[in-house]
Amino acid sequence: MADRWAEQAGRVGADLHLELDGGGSRRAALIRALRAAVSEGRLRPGQRLPPYRSLAADLGLTRNTVASAYAELVAEGWLTARQGSGTRVAARSVSPVQAPVAPPARRTVAHDLGQGKPDAGSFPRTAWAAAARRALTAAPNDAFGPGDPHGRPELRAALAEYLGRVRGVRTDPARIVVCSGFAHALRLLFGGAGGSGRGVLRGKLAVEAYGLGFHRSLLAAASVRTVPLEVDEQGARIEELPSGARAVLLTPAHQFPTGGPLASGRRAAAVEWARARGGLVLEDDYDGEFRYDREPVGAVQGLDPERVIYLGSVSKSLSPAVRLGWMVLPGHLVDAVIGVKGEREAWASALDQLTLAEFIRSGQYDRHVRRMRQRYRGRRDRLVSVLASRAPHVSVSGIAAGLHAVLRLPPGTEASTLVRAARAGVALDGLSAFRHPDAAASGDGLVVGYAAPSEHAYGAALDALCAVLPKR
Ligand SMILES: Cc1ncc(COP(=O)(O)O)c(C=O)c1O
């Protein structure tokens, strides 16, 4: 039945994720689910809906229930029905203002394999609380006044030492500006909410063909034109950098999300390119500490601190809830970034900064990262061995580092797999969701985060994943 639905969903061109949640009759639930699919754009104007009989079979409803729900939505103007061409989404579907849509019922996630989430249960509560107590006790009075937009000196000193030791970053505290995470750093550099709105960099930005859509939207909102740079197993193809680009945004330690480290020749080529063009490399080091196969790949920034802006945060290493990150800047950009940030610190709590500084200084950060690296490596190994025995036709890549893996699927099976996953309550992403709209597709796949489930729930999450994968 699931496969029939997958075919059907493919025919209407979407993974509909119809979920008949919420109270009331099955007919009312189907109406709500279809309205939500139209208003969220999963069903587009003109798209054809499945015939009554097959939708009924797939959702376990009677044919009459589906027919009656379609009729209701035709009457409301969401759908149109014409003899011979079936039922379609109306060309100008009713906007939510004309016919308010009941908020879609929240999808129940039984197994969270979404990327981008560290193991929330492993947050080092006791050590963090102890660091906060020590930091507060020792804090000078000026810590409780308006904050310096550079960030607390204690944190910048701790970061300069830590990043130099662990990531090979060459800096001193004066070139570090604290922010509330990578997304905030992008806003400060390119404009938009989170600073004065101006930004400090101009011109076309090359980005990896696969990356986080949220970051692309954030750049688009700041009117930054992004051009995609294809990626392969050696990372971004630096040799294809478009001539008009002024800067390039890279994830050199672990290409996000496909997973390869940027090859050493390409790291050098990126820096050479920036030197020759007067350009800049923006290095997103989002999970550089979680490398499993060998010593961490050092930061590209170490090759040329004047041509590389190094960006990091604690979102993967500790928790995205902390909202602390850092920019390690070429000397000539520090004042410009501070100018954009404003006269006072408005984003990153000085008290959290002091706590993080103490957490790093006391060795707790290293200890936590070491512990989590072991745990995540164990998770990754389990994923790989379960797939090898139960889905050997699905290859796994991008596993030398990080908190997620990419599962390569047979061509044409990504959308239907996501439909089955959604119905089984397995939260995960399709690879195509990460593709830049102007980039060529590089095949079907899934991005599977293995850090989020709690230890006891992980086995069940892997079982659920295997159950929704395409059969060979
Ligand atoms: C590619 C990538 N860059 C950066 C980050 C960090 O973002 P932030 O510091 O804004 O939470 C993430 C998410 O953790 C990410 O997936």
* CA pseudo-torsion sign 141, 145, 150, 156: positive
Tens of pLDDT along 389-438? 999 999 999 999 999 999 999 999 999 999 999 999 999 999 999 999 99
Q: Considering only CA atoms, which residue is closest to atom 3 of ligand 1?
A: 286
pLDDT the model gives residue 437: 96
Mean pLDDT, rounded, for 435-449: 96
Q: Whose CA is nearest to atom 7 of ligand 1?
A: 182
**Mean of all residue pLDDT scores within the chain:** 90
Residue 53's pLDDT band, with cuts at 50, 70 and 90, is confident
Q: What is the pLDDT of residues 431-440, one digit of tens each?
A: 999 999 999 9
Is pLDDT of 15 > 80?
no
* Banded model confidence at residue 467, pLDDT cuts 50, 70, 90: very high
The Cα 353–Cα 349 span in angstroms is 6
Nearest CA to ligand 1 atom 13: 116
**Which residues surround ligand 1 with Cβ inside 6 Å?**
116, 181-183, 212, 251, 256, 284, 286, 313, 315-316, 320, 325
**Rounded Cα–Cα distance for residues 284 and 327 (Å):** 10
What is the percentage of the chain residues whose pLDDT exceeds 70?
Answer: 91
Residue nearest to atom 6 of ligand 1 (CA): 182
Q: Read off the pLDDT of residues 84-101 as tens digits, 9 standing for 90 and up.
A: 788 998 886 555 444 444
Considering the chain, what percentage of its residues have pLDDT values greater than 90? 74
The position carrying tokens 């003899």 is 83
Q: Which residues contact 28 (CB under 8 A, 6 or more apart)?
A: none
Domains of the chain listed by start with CATH number: 2-106 (1.10.10.10), 112-120+367-468 (3.90.1150.10), 140-362 (3.40.640.10)
Determine the distance separating the centroid of ligand 1 and the alpha carbon of 226, expressed in angstroms. Answer: 18
Q: For ligand 1, atom 2, name the residue with the nearest CA.
A: 286
Q: Which atom of ligand 1 is nearest to the CA of 325?
A: 9
Distance 116 CA to ligand 1 centre (A): 7
Q: How is 157-171 classified by DSSP, letter by letter? A: HHHHHHHHHHH----
